[in-house]
């Protein structure tokens, strides 16, 4: 019988660690948090120092019972959940549920899951960190107060079912502010002028107008107008082009540091086109362990939620030896490259790096799927390059004089590739900012003009944010932490405050604008990025033990409670009235307003219910709203009522077929949408795939794709996730009044239940308006 119990978060991690520790250790997964604040009420006792009422998560009673049973008779219980605030909270709550026990309960921090690292961590356990747990409590309680106090207010004033969140709402404000910048932007014309030249030595080259009459032309502080461009052309066409100066100097370019969480998400977006959530899901698998044939399951990277570029001495020594043996000693710096951490950085964590530099991507490629290999390669190459010598260039700058104008040409030649032999950052891919080579030129040399190329340009508005660029802004402003970035992105898209265009750039919906504007006006402090950043710093102080978490909460809650009381009285109501526009109803001349339904925003006449006119919204890049043309599309269907052709129409509930004789005939017919694949095998016939279909009355259900040969059907949403308890190939989602949205095992004999995963940092709208 095993003498020791190790508790981790995930089954995959448990499997990997069990193989390292052997028969003296039993390893069990908690499958995430075991307790949380209740969904049906606030769960925070504001009058008694904001005491949280943590309750066992539905479906986790069995997990806790099994952990308690397993702990009996053990010499040691090691709590090895993730090495961050969330992991510390899981460890703390499990410890509390174990109660008084003869076993010695210790905390184990696993920054990487390899045999040596796991054995060393277990051999050197630590105590539970009260300060780290208090930082978690403060963050969780504040997010609950913001979410459960503001969400009901938004339900009452705007739309039921929407939500607000401490970080989510600040991220939304950043997106809305950028959109308004774009709408206020007015393009300005400017011109550039290139001269095509040749000298005594080939090849021909280009030089760009740099200054005119001693005035620098950079098209930023001063934009070259067309009239002046024509004036300069007329002047230089008649004048010689003479080399005024030639400057040659050596330029060194240093490598980028190894990845931290935000940089990994940004670079994976640029190079691999992965959204942050996808990046973190793949990184989680690489961290927890991958089967490498006879070697078994091995964690391939260090912990992926970090804001520190620190690297252990052992890893530095290993990568320097690897670089020297593979690329040559000239690529190894005399001393290891050191990188500074941000002031918010958690120094205990390392950067994201391979756990063993000997496992290069080529040697393990056959064990990884396409996505895992791509991300591992990115992490591996970035880490190796971070400890290589700088790249060295010879850069030449040539100023060429003609009349009163100076043209400048630049070129560079690589002398030593250094780190660029292994890795180049996404925004610096070859071809994006590489300068060409120049011929040998000498001061005083007269050049031959081959032609002048004037080109018209227009200034561009600031670009919309992608998920990756928004994460960069959040990081720069100190908003959020590594574990929250991906969740923030998911949140603002899930609540339909933001939509992504074809290029995956985010623009706010009308609902997002309304919610943002109302919150900014009512809660100016909370919606300031500086407030959110300051609270993150306060949490760091709580974690360090220099700040009391209750005092932190009291500083926040006083002003918040006052603003909340004022907002309940003064915040305008748009839920029924709608959001005013400049459009008029084409039927009765009333004002058209924006409202929100099950299928998103739509235009409706303000004289409803007397006038039921509705329509789709069209919005241009300046934010101007128009009624989308709704000319019905003809079909081959015939109206069952009058025999006239049916046409395709659209309402706020989606597309449908309507009689072309409307309003004389009101015949309609629902459109049957194509079934959606779930990727889950049918539990009855084992051959077909479960498909998401729509019934004749428009209700979604799930049925076997082999119908009518197989008649399996179910109303509950199919979740293509294996049951963590019995391993069934899928679960079902149910919306229960008491507990909210719940995932349940499809195997009724199993009985596993758990709340559907909730996105961090954003409180879900409560099941009912919680008491004040």
Residue 378, SS3 per DSSP: helix
In the prediction, which pLDDT does 481 show?
Answer: 80
pLDDT over 70 (residue 288): yes
d(CA 335, CA 337): 6
Residue 558, Cβ density class (10 Å: 0-12 exposed, 13-18 middle, ≥19 buried)? exposed
pLDDT over 70 (residue 621): no
Q: Which of 37, 47, 11, 22 is nearest to 772 (CA)?
A: 47
In the prediction, which pLDDT does 271 show?
Answer: 93
pLDDT over 60 (residue 766): no
In the prediction, which pLDDT does 758 show?
Answer: 42
More confident site: 195 or 655: 195
Token readout for 452 is 């002048």
In the prediction, which pLDDT does 672 show?
Answer: 63
Mean pLDDT (whole number) for 757-767: 43
In the prediction, which pLDDT does 205 show?
Answer: 96
Token readout for 454 is 């004037």
Q: How confident is the model at residue 760 (pLDDT cuts 50, 70, 90)?
A: very low
Quote the percentage of the chain above a pLDDT of 70: 92
Which stretch of 187-191, 279-283, 743-747 has the lowest confidence by average pLDDT?
743-747
In the prediction, which pLDDT does 664 show?
Answer: 85
Q: Which of 298, 315, 288 is nearest to 8 (CA)?
A: 288
Q: What is the DSSP pairing of strand 35-36 with strand 55-56? A: antiparallel
Q: What is the DSSP pairing of strand 391-402 with strand 405-416? A: antiparallel
Q: How confident is the model at residue 121 (pLDDT cuts 50, 70, 90)?
A: very high
Q: Which of 136, 190, 212, 303 is catalytic?
A: 303
d(CA 564, CA 45): 17
Mean pLDDT (whole number) for 261-272: 94
Catalytic: 730? no
Average pLDDT, the chain: 88
d(CA 759, CA 368): 28
Q: Give pTM, 2 decimals.
A: 0.76
In the prediction, which pLDDT does 341 show?
Answer: 78
Q: How confident is the model at residue 428 (pLDDT cuts 50, 70, 90)?
A: very low
Residue 744, SS3 per DSSP: strand
d(CA 506, CA 466): 6
Instruction: Work out whether the CA dihedral 353, 359, 362, 367 comes out positive or negative.
Output: negative
d(CA 38, CA 414): 61
In the prediction, which pLDDT does 600 show?
Answer: 75
In the prediction, which pLDDT does 344 show?
Answer: 54
| pLDDT tens digits, 434-479 | 456 799 999 999 999 999 999 999 999 999 999 999 999 998 888 8
d(CA 377, CA 373): 6
Q: What beta strand segments (E) does 598-688 contain?
A: 600-605, 614-615, 617-619, 625-627, 633-638, 645-651, 654-659, 668-670, 676-681
Which stretch of 105-114, 648-657, 717-726 has the lowest confidence by average pLDDT?
648-657
Name the packing angle between helices 467-476 and 276-288 (round to 10°): 80
More confident site: 175 or 161: 175
d(CA 283, CA 376): 8
pLDDT over 60 (residue 771): no
In the prediction, which pLDDT does 434 show?
Answer: 46
- The residues, ordered by sequence, that sit 6+ positions from 407 with a Cβ below 8 Å of its Cβ are 195, 197, 207, 208, 209, 210, 241, 399, 400, 401
In the prediction, which pLDDT does 769 show?
Answer: 41
d(CA 209, CA 225): 13
d(CA 241, CA 763): 67
| pLDDT tens digits, 38-66 | 988 999 999 999 999 999 998 899 999 99
pLDDT over 80 (residue 653): no
pLDDT over 50 (residue 764): no
């Amino acid at each position: 019988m095993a003498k020791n119990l190790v508790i981790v978060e995930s089954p995959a991690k448990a499997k990997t660690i069990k193989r390292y520790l052997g028969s003296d250790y039993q390893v069990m997964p908690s499958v995430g948090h075991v307790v949380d604040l209740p969904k049906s009420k606030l769960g925070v006792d504001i009058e008694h120092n904001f005491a949280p009422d943590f309750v066992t998560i539905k479906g986790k009673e069995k997990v806790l019972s099994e952990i308690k049973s397993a702990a009996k008779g053990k010499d040691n219980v090691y709590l090895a959940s993730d090495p961050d605030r969330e992991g510390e909270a899981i460890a703390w709550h499990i410890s509390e549920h174990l109660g008084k026990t003869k076993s010695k309960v210790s905390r184990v921090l696993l920054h990487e899951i390899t045999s040596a690292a796991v054995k060393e961590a277990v051999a050197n356990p630590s105590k539970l960190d009260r300060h780290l747990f208090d930082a978690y409590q403060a963050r969780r309680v504040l997010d609950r107060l913001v979410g459960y106090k503001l969400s009901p207010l938004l339900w009452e004033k705007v739309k039921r079912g929407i939500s607000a969140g401490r970080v989510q709402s600040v991220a939304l404000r950043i997106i809305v502010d950028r959109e308004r910048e774009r709408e206020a932007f007015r393009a300005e014309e400017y011109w550039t002028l290139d001269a095509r030249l040749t000298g005594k030595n080939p090849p021909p080259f280009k030089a760009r107008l740099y200054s005119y009459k001693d005035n620098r032309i950079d098209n930023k502080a001063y934009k070259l107008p067309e009239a002046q461009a024509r004036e300069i052309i007329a002047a230089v066409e008649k004048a010689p082009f003479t080399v005024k100066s030639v400057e040659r100097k050596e330029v060194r370019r240093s490598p980028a540091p190894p990845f931290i969480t935000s940089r990994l998400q940004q670079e994976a977006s640029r190079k691999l086109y992965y959204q942050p959530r996808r990046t973190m899901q793949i990184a989680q698998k690489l961290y927890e362990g991958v089967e490498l044939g006879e070697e078994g399951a091995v964690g391939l990277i260090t912990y992926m939620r970090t804001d520190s570029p620190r690297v252990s001495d052992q890893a530095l020594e290993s990568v320097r030896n690897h670089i020297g043996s593979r690329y040559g000693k000239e690529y190894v710096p005399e001393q290891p490259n050191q990188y500074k951490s941000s002031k918010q950085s958690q120094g205990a964590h390392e950067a994201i790096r391979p756990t063993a530099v000997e496992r290069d991507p080529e040697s393990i490629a056959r064990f990884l799927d396409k996505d895992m290999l791509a991300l591992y390669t990115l992490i591996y190459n970035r880490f190796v390059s971070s400890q290589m010598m700088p790249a060295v260039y010879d850069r030449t700058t040539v100023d060429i004089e003609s009349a009163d104008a100076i043209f400048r040409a630049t070129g560079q030649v690589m002398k030593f590739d250094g780190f660029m032999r292994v890795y180049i950052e996404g925004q610096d891919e070859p071809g994006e900012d590489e300068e060409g080579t120049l011929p040998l030129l000498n001061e005083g040399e007269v050049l031959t003009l081959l032609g002048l190329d004037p080109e018209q340009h227009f200034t561009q508005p600031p670009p919309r944010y992608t998920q990756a660029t928004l994460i960069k802004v959040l990081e720069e402003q100190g908003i959020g932490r590594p574990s929250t970035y991906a969740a923030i992105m998911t949140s603002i898209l899930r609540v339909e405050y933001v939509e992504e265009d074809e290029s995956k750039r985010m623009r706010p919906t009308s609902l997002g604008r309304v919610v943002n504007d109302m919150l900014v006006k009512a809660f100016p402090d909370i919606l300031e990025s500086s407030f959110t950043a300051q609270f993150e710093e306060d949490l760091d102080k709580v974690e360090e033990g220099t700040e009391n978490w209750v005092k932190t909460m009291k500083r926040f809650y006083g002003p918040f409670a006052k603003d909340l009381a004022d907002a309940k009285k003064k915040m305008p109501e748009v839920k029924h009235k709608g959001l005013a526009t400049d459009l008029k109803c084409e039927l009765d001349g009333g004002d058209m307003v924006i409202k929100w339904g099950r299928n998103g925003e739509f235009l409706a006449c303000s004289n409803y219910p007397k006038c039921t006119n509705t329509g789709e919204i069209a919005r241009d890049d300046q934010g101007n709203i128009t009624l989308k043309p709704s000319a019905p599309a003809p079909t081959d269907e015939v109206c069952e009522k009058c025999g006239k052709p049916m046409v395709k129409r659209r309402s706020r509930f989606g597309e449908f077929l309507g009689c072309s004789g409307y309003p004389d005939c009101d015949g309609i017919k629902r459109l049957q949408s194509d079934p959606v694949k779930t990727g889950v095998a049918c539990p009855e016939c084992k051959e077909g795939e479960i498909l998401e279909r729509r019934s004749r009355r428009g209700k979604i259900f799930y049925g076997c794709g082999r119908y009518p040969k197989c008649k399996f059907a179910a109303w509950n949403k199919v979740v293509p996730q294996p049951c963590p308890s019995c391993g069934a190939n899928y679960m079902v989602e149910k919306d229960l009044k008491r507990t909210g949205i719940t995932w349940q095992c499809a195997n009724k004999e199993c009985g596993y239940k758990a709340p559907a995963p909730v996105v961090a940092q954003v409180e879900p709208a409560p099941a009912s308006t919680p008491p004040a």
